[in-house]
Structure 1
Amino acid sequence: MIYTVTFNPSLDYILRLDHFTAGEINRVNYEQVLGGGKGINVSIVLKNLGHDSTALGFVAGFTGDEIKRQLGEFGVQNDFVQLEQGFSRINVKVKADKETEINGQGPDICEAKQEELFAKLDKLTAGDTLVLAGSIPKTLPDDIYQRIMAKLKDKDIRMVVDAEKNLLLNVLQYRPFLIKPNNHELGDMFGVKLTSHEEIINHAKKLQAKGAQNVLVSMAGDGAILLTADGISYKCPAPKGTLVNSVGAGDSMVAGFITGFMESGGDFERAFHMGVATGSASAFSENLATRPEVEELLKSIA
C-alpha cells in the first residue's frame, strides 16, 4: 500500500486576473478552491493514474472537512488525525502579471495528536511505500521527519521524501529510497547556484554520499535528472506545452515516478519518464494530471 503524509494541508484559493494592483480593488476572471498540500497532491495524482493510496496528516475545522470531502470525490482514501481546535490553512494563489502566494499558518498540533499519527504509521508493513512531503507547521518539532523515519527504518518500507533543505538533509542518514529536490533547492542545500547538468549531478552525488539512494531533480521547463543508487544518470528535457499552472507539478512527478516504478517492476528509466510526463501534464493543465494526458506526453519522451 502507498501512504502519503501532509503535515499542513490546505485549501488553495486560486485566482486569475489580468492585472493585480496592490491597494486597489481587483476583480478576478477565474477562481477555484482545491484541497492541497504536497502529499495530498501525490495521492490525487496516484488515483488519477490508477493506484490507491491513503492520505495521512492533520486536518481541522470547516476547511479540513472540505479537504476530506474533495479527496472523497477523487476516490482517495484518507485517515487524517482530526484536530479539535483551529482550521486547516487557506492558501491564496494569485495569478496575474506575476504569481503571488499568501500561505496560511495552519492549526496548532499538540503532542497527543502527533502520537496519534505515529500510531497510524506503526501499522505500515514491509513492502509499503510512504511519501513524506512538504513543510511542517510551526507547532510541530523540527525533527518530525527524522522521528518518523527512525521509527520505520527497520520495517523495509520504501521511503520517498520531498521537502526543503534541513527537513531533507536531516533524514538522509535513514537512506530514503527516493528524494526529489528541484535544482534551486539542491543548490540551496550547498549554498551555491547550479548552472549546468554536470553541477546538478555532482551535487546529487553528494546527497547520495549522505545516504540518499535515488535522487530525482526537477528543473521546471528544463526537464529533470535522475541519479540512481547504482550510479546511472538519466536526463530528460521537458515535453513541449504551454504552462498553465505550476502548482502540484513536482508532486505529480513524484506520483508518476512511483507509478512507473511499480508498473514496470522496478525499471528506473521507465519510472523517470513517467515522472517527467506526469509533472508536465499537471503543469499544462488547470488541474492535476490524468492518465490520458500522461500517456499522450509519454509518446514524445519514451
Structure 2
Amino acid sequence: MIYTVTVNPALDYVIQMEQLDWGEVNRSNNCSFLAGGKGINVSQILNQLGVDNTAWGFIGGFTGKELVRQVNQRRIVSDFVTISDATRVNVKLHAGKETEINAAGPTITKQEILAFEDRLNVLQKGDIVVLSGSLAPSLPVDFYQQLLPTIKAAGAEFVIDTTGQALLDTLSYRPLVIKPNHHELAELFNTTFNSDAEMLNAARKLLDLGAQNVMVSMAGSGGYLVTAKHAYHANAAVGTAVNSVGAGDSMIAGFVGTYVQAGDLSECFKMGMACGAATAFTKDIAIKSQIDAVLPQITVEQIS
C-alpha cells in the first residue's frame, strides 16, 4: 500500500478575468474551487495507474469538507485527521498573468498531531509513504523527519519531496527516491554545473549520504536516474507545456506506482517521466489516456 501525505492541503480558488484594475471593482469571467495538495496530486496519478493508495493529512472547517468531497469525487481513498481550524484557501488569479496568494495554513494542535502519528501504526513491510508539500506554520520544521523512525521501524519505505537542508536531513533514513531538479541539486552543494557529468557526480553524493535512488528532472532536456548500480538518461516528451503545477508530483507517482507493481528501476523512471510530462501538457493532473499517449515517446538509456 502507498500512503500519500499532504499535511497542509488547500482549496484553490481559481479566478479568471480579462484584466485586473487595481483599486476598482472587477468582475470575473469564471471561478472555481479545486482541491489542491502535492500528496493529493500523487494519489490522483496512482489511481490512474491502478495502484492502491490512501491519502493522509489534516483537514478542517467547511473548506476541509469541500476538499474531502472533491477527493471522494476523484475516487481517492482518504483517512484525514479532522482538526478544529479550517483548511486554507489559496487564490489563483488569472488576468493576463497568473498571480497566486497562498495562505500559510491552519493551526494544528498537539492532540491532532498525535492523531496523525497514530495513522502510522497501520504500516507494514513493503508499504511506501510519500511525504510532500509545505508544512502548516504550527507544525515543527522537522515534522517529516520526526515520522521517519516509525516508518522505517515498520519496515516501510518513504519518499520525500522537499529541498535544501530539510532534504539533506532525511537522507540518513535512506529514502527510496528523491527528485531534485538540476537547479535544486546544484543549490544543495552551493555550486553550478558546467556539464552533465558534474551533475551526475553530485547526484552520486546524495547516494553516498543515504538516498537509494536519485531522479534529476531537467525540463526540456529530459532527466536522469542515478541508482546504486547504474545511471540512466531519459529524453523529454514532445508537447506544449501549459502547466507546471503537479508535474513533479506526477513524476514521483509514476516512479513509485511502477515500483510497487514491477520493481524495475528503468521502467519506474520511464513511467515517472511520462506522468510528469503528461501533467505538464494539460491544465490539470493527467489522466490515464494522456499518460498512455506520452509513454511511447519516452526512451530510457543506460549510460553507466
Normalised by the shorter chain, which TM-score bucket?
Answer: over 0.9
Quote the offset at 1:30 in angstroms: 4.8
Query: What's 1:283 paired with?
Result: 280
Assess, with a 3 A threshold, how the Cα gap between structure 1 residues 155 and 198 changes in structure 2: closer, same or farther.
same
Assess, with a 3 A threshold, how the Cα gap between structure 1 residues 247 and 32 changes in structure 2: closer, same or farther.
farther
User: Contact conserved, 2:106 with 2:137, CA < 8 A, in 1?
Assistant: no
User: Contact conserved, 2:151 with 2:158, CA < 8 A, in 1?
Assistant: no
Quote the offset at 1:225 in angstroms: 1.4
Give the distance between the partners of 1:241 and 1:28, measured in 2 at CA.
30
SS of the equivalent of 1:78 reads coil
Give 1:84-163 correspondences, 5 Å limit. 84=84, 86-163=85-162
SS of the equivalent of 1:179 reads coil
SS of the equivalent of 2:297 reads coil
Quote the offset at 1:27 in angstroms: 5.0
For 2:218, give the aligned amino acid: M
Give the distance between the partners of 1:26 and 1:194, measured in 2 at CA.
46
Superposed CA RMSD in Å reads: 1.9
> Could you list the per-position Cα deviations for residues 260-293 of structure 1 after superposition, in whole angstroms to 9, with x for gaps in the alignment?
2233x21111111111110111111122111111
Query: What's 1:300 paired with?
Result: 297
Query: What's 2:240 paired with?
Result: 242
Give the distance between the partners of 1:31 and 1:294, measured in 2 at CA.
27
Quote the offset at 1:212 in angstroms: 0.7
User: Contact conserved, 1:52 with 1:76, CA < 8 A, in 2?
Assistant: no
SS of the equivalent of 2:153 reads coil
* TM-score relative to the length of structure 2: 0.92
Assess, with a 3 A threshold, how the Cα gap between structure 1 residues 196 and 14 changes in structure 2: closer, same or farther.
farther
Query: What's 2:49 paired with?
Result: 49
Query: What's 2:269 paired with?
Result: 272
Give the distance between the partners of 2:24 and 2:221, measured in 1 at CA.
36
User: Contact conserved, 1:59 with 1:88, CA < 8 A, in 2?
Assistant: yes
SS of the equivalent of 1:287 reads coil
Provide structure 2 residue ranges, at least 5 long, that are not aligned to the other structure. Answer: 300-304
Give the distance between the partners of 2:171 and 2:239, measured in 1 at CA.
35
Assess, with a 3 A threshold, how the Cα gap between structure 1 residues 255 and 13 changes in structure 2: closer, same or farther.
same
For 1:78, give the aligned amino acid: S
SS of the equivalent of 2:233 reads strand
Give the distance between the partners of 2:194 and 2:97, measured in 1 at CA.
24
Provide structure 1 residue ranges, at least 5 long, that are not aligned to the other structure. Answer: none
Give the distance between the partners of 1:278 and 1:60, measured in 2 at CA.
30
Give the distance between the partners of 1:28 and 1:179, measured in 2 at CA.
40
Q: What is the total number of aligned residue pairs between the two structures?
A: 299
* TM-score relative to the length of structure 1: 0.92
Give the distance between the partners of 1:202 and 1:28, measured in 2 at CA.
50
Assess, with a 3 A threshold, how the Cα gap between structure 1 residues 30 and 277 changes in structure 2: closer, same or farther.
farther
Query: What's 1:165 paired with?
Result: 164
Give the distance between the partners of 2:270 and 2:74, measured in 1 at CA.
25
